[in-house]
Amino acid sequence: MNRSGLIGIKSEMATGKTSIVKNYRLNHRDARFLVLGHRITLLRELSQVSKLNTSLYSDLPAGQLDKVNALSITIDSLYKLKTAANKYDCIFIDEARQVMNHALSAATCKQHRQEILMSLMYFIRSAKQVIIADAHLDDNTIDFFRAMRPVGEVPLIIKNDYKSPSRDVYYYQGNDSSALVAKLVAAIKQGKRVMVVSDSKKTILKLEAVLMKKLGIKSGFSSSCSESKNKVIWTIHADNSGSPENQHFVKNISSAAEDVDVLLASPSLCTGVDIQGDRFDEVYGFFNAVSLSATDCLQALHRYRKSVPLHIWVAPRPSFGYQNSNSNVIRREMLQLEEFNGFLMGIDPETGEKTPVDSWAFDAYCQVKAKHNRSLNNLRDHLHRLLARMGYNVIAVESDTDDDAKSDLKEAAKKVDAHHIQQVTSAAQIDRNQYLQLKNKTYLTNTEKYEVERFRISEGYGQPVTEELVKRDNGGAYLGQLINLEAVLSPPQGEVIDPNTGSKRLVPPPIVLDKDKWELENLPFLPDRQHHCTQWYMWQTLGLPKILERLFAGEEYRADDPDLIKLAEMAISYRDNIKTILGFQFPIIVVPPGCWECWFKSWV
């Protein structure tokens, strides 16, 4: 470790990667030291005196971040750290692969991504030593950070081949998670203490509601801690992970967990936290193939370090459909979209202002996206293979749907939604200044979150915030649909000639153009843009505005309507374009002559 340059450490989870860096800190107390991470829970754990002994960025005024010798900061806030005359002797990046993914694609970085990437490049390049560590350190991650180092520098890669002790893994094969939910409830009733992880906050909230019902807990829904006469449930998710009680819990998690019978954790606790001791008998994993790749699922399952049995259910297919897993195709399609979108906006691709594209970050994004998509497309199989590769005894459990558990989950989902609606409608009304102040806070209490949500709904719809409106809003999805509908129905401004084909193309309306102009000015990183003009043009090509106008005029449609048949023919013809531009797909079926009704039923 006593060498300059880039050092990569690939070692199994719980094999002492952080301890190596801790020894460096002890031997170089006066060195300027920076720790980068993607989750505050991870940094809070690492910053403790017993670990790396650094100042946590959220505890310091923004103007003092560069004044401390040892700092831990999230990648989201890196743009706040001054670069002028600010260099570090050593930079440590734990969970480096996830930090890279977060920097390139996380929605929370979108507004400042270019500043974040440029700051990251500066600090990595100017540091004397950069240590990246990950249990699944791969070539993509090494190349990403290596590209930021001085040209010609050769990294040192340390690989630890030690494997964790074997354990039994019960891998549930059902189409839904109800059988594993029933197993979880039975295990808790038998007196077993369990930890439950998931890739979805909604799943954790539903499981909490199911367990509260089964254990006879009457109150405390969606709080951190719920108790019955003889069971304690502790829940950590994105909405409450920054609360004082959860900060204290995570900071002292090994001892705090001694008083917990059931620990429920969403992705906010899926990395960087080590739970030692003998508290839990089993670990349960519910993965819906929503966002976490197989390696991320492994991280979540191994927060509790003891080799106890694992019970896992993984969705048989990705929740949002199969995605492109070829990095070259992803890159080509994004560049084509940008070029076509620029043409619709009136930007000459030869002489006009060019879109800034950082090839280093853009290429890395395409590779990371492709790899992530490959994992999500085959998550059940991919996670199974990784577990077997670790030497675990993976036991396939054939499981049918448990009707009682499935019913409990449906009831729990309704309860979660009803609780959210009730909290939003009863929240205090705030004005815009209060809203902006709350949006700039690092952490919001539950009360403040609901106040912000109420203001967003009230401001967005211009109507009183009722239970029906909150339900229909669906976290902002309905408002987004209304805005898109307005754009689709807006008439074009005229026509323009495509210089490549000579054909005429419609000019998008101002409501669409303005969105793309704002993104062009404020989102320099190409993958962050939505290409609204191209989306609008796709809807026009399909003929959707004409159909909507007839519907609004009170007309009814039959499956043999000429406009619908034309839309179906166009949709099949442009199926790949629809997937690329609009982000959804529909099944291809053989349509007998005069039987378009079959196709519409399969699509709708």
% of the chain exceeding 90 in pLDDT: 63
Question: What's domain 168-320+380-414's architecture?
Answer: 3-Layer(aba) Sandwich (3.40)
CATH 3.30.590.20 applies to domain 5-159: no
pLDDT of 363: 93
pLDDT of 590: 54
Question: Does 402 score more than 70 pLDDT?
Answer: yes
Structural domain boundaries of the chain? 5-159, 168-320+380-414, 327-370, 430-475, 489-603
One-letter-per-residue 3-state SS of 73-128: EEHHHHHHCCCCCCCCCEEEEECHHHHHHHHHHCHHHHHHHHHHHHHHHHHHHHCC
Q: Are strands 225-227 and 232-236 parallel, antiparallel or unpaired?
A: antiparallel
- DSSP output for 553-600: TT----TT-HHHHHHHHHHHHTHHHHHHHHS---------TT-HHHHH
pLDDT of 218: 58
Residue 33 backbone phi and psi in degrees, to 5: -130, 130
Question: Does 510 score more than 50 pLDDT?
Answer: yes
pLDDT of 357: 52
* Other CB atoms within 10 Å distance of the CB of residue 353: 9
- Compare 262 and 223 and report the one with higher pLDDT: 262
Q: How confident is the model at residue 594 (pLDDT cuts 50, 70, 90)?
A: low
Neighbouring residues of 485: CB distance < 8 A, sequence distance ≥ 6: 548
Contact (CB, 8 A) for 488 and 545 = yes
Contact (CB, 8 A) for 96 and 134 = yes
Burial class of residue 1 (count of CB atoms within 10 Å of its CB; 0-12, 13-18, 19+) = middle
Which residues is 31 bridged to in the sheet? none
Element (H, E) at 10: strand 5-10
How does pLDDT run across 201-240, given as a tens digit for each residue? 999 999 999 999 998 875 544 555 655 557 889 998 888 8
- Compare 276 and 124 and report the one with higher pLDDT: 124
pLDDT of 341: 87
% of the chain exceeding 70 in pLDDT: 92
Q: How confident is the model at residue 31 (pLDDT cuts 50, 70, 90)?
A: very high
pLDDT of 269: 76
Neighbouring residues of 2: CB distance < 8 A, sequence distance ≥ 6: none
The three-state secondary structure class of 131 is: strand
Neighbouring residues of 312: CB distance < 8 A, sequence distance ≥ 6: 169, 170, 171, 172, 180, 284, 285, 287, 301, 383
How does pLDDT run across 341-395, given as a tens digit for each residue? 888 877 655 555 544 456 789 999 999 999 999 999 999 999 999 999 999 999 9
- Compare 496 and 77 and report the one with higher pLDDT: 77
Cα–Cα distance measured from residue 574 to residue 568, given in angstroms and rounded to the nearest whole number: 10
Q: Which of 82-86, 97-101, 222-226, 389-393 has the lowest mean pLDDT?
A: 222-226
Neighbouring residues of 427: CB distance < 8 A, sequence distance ≥ 6: 447, 450, 451, 453, 454
Closest alpha carbon to 9 in 89, 95, 91, 75 = 95
Q: Distances in Å between the alpha carbon of 199 and those of 291, 313, 329?
A: 7, 11, 27
Residue whose token pair is 């890196």? 78
- How far, in whole angstroms, is CA 148 from its chain's centroid? 25
Q: Which of 216-230, 377-391, 530-544, 546-560 has the lowest mean pLDDT?
A: 216-230
For the ranges 159-173, 368-382, 530-544, the maximum mean pLDDT occurs at 368-382
- How far, in whole angstroms, is CA 495 from its chain's centroid? 39
pLDDT of 9: 95
pLDDT of 231: 84
The three-state secondary structure class of 463 is: coil
Q: How confident is the model at residue 509 (pLDDT cuts 50, 70, 90)?
A: very high
pLDDT of 360: 86
Cα–Cα distance measured from residue 266 to residue 251, given in angstroms and rounded to the nearest whole number: 17
- How far, in whole angstroms, is CA 44 from its chain's centroid? 20
Q: Are strands 494-497 and 310-314 parallel, antiparallel or unpaired?
A: unpaired
Angle between helices 532-542 and 562-573 (to 10 degrees): 130
Question: Does 270 score more than 90 pLDDT?
Answer: no
Average pLDDT in the chain: 89
How does pLDDT run across 437-472, given as a tens digit for each residue? 998 887 788 899 999 999 999 999 999 999 999 999
Average pLDDT over residues 540-569: 88
pLDDT of 587: 62
pLDDT of 134: 93
Q: How confident is the model at residue 12 (pLDDT cuts 50, 70, 90)?
A: confident
Q: Are strands 129-134 and 90-94 parallel, antiparallel or unpaired?
A: parallel
Average pLDDT over residues 79-91: 95
How does pLDDT run across 140-154, given as a tens digit for each residue? 999 999 999 999 999
Average pLDDT over residues 6-11: 95
Residue 526 half-sphere exposure, CB side, CA atoms within 13 Å? Answer: 25
Amino acid letter, residue 601: K
Q: Which of 30-39, 353-362, 395-404, 493-502 has the lowest mean pLDDT?
A: 353-362
- Compare 250 and 516 and report the one with higher pLDDT: 516
pLDDT of 603: 47
Exposure string over 169-182, b if 16+ CB within 10 A, otherwise e: bbbbebebbbbbbb
pTM above 0.85, yes or no: yes
Which residues is 129 bridged to in the sheet? 5, 90
Cα–Cα distance measured from residue 432 to residue 423, given in angstroms and rounded to the nearest whole number: 20
Closest alpha carbon to 23 in 4, 43, 1 = 1
Q: Are strands 129-134 and 5-10 parallel, antiparallel or unpaired?
A: parallel
How does pLDDT run across 283-302, given as a tens digit for each residue? 999 999 999 999 999 999 99
- How far, in whole angstroms, is CA 37 from its chain's centroid? 15
Contact (CB, 8 A) for 509 and 487 = yes
Q: Which of 123-127, 172-176, 254-258, 592-596 has the lowest mean pLDDT?
A: 592-596
